[in-house]
Amino acid sequence: MVDQTRLAVTKGELGPICDHCGELMTFGESMVIDAQYVCWECYQKSTGAEPSTDSSENPGLPIH
């Protein structure tokens, strides 16, 4: 069971508070490192992980 002092309500949902920066998150947004809840930005800083996709737009297939 999650310690209730580490929880808050954000976006209408109960979720954890980032143990590194204090950001309020939903459980779906949170990542876990060594039993600590962290936001995506803190996860990237802690692990060096990067998104596997690029941010370029996909124009789709041209229809003629």
CB atoms within 10 A of CB 39: 21
What pTM value is reported for the model?
Answer: 0.73
Q: CA 16, CA 32: separation in Å to the nearest integer?
A: 10
In a domain, 19, yes or no: yes
Q: Check pLDDT > 80 for residue 56.
A: no
Q: Are 17 and 1 in contact (CB under 8 A)?
A: no
Quick one: pLDDT at residue 1? 67
User: What does the pLDDT average to over 38-59?
Assistant: 86
In a domain, 61, yes or no: no
In a domain, 52, yes or no: no
In a domain, 21, yes or no: yes
In a domain, 56, yes or no: no
| Total number of domains constituting the chain | 1
In a domain, 58, yes or no: no
User: What does the pLDDT average to over 36-50?
Assistant: 93
Its domain, for residue 19, covers: 4-47
**Better-scored residue on pLDDT, 54 or 24:** 24
Q: Report the mean per-residue pLDDT for the chain.
A: 88
Question: How sure is the predictor about 15, in pLDDT bands with cuts at 50, 70 and 90?
Answer: very high
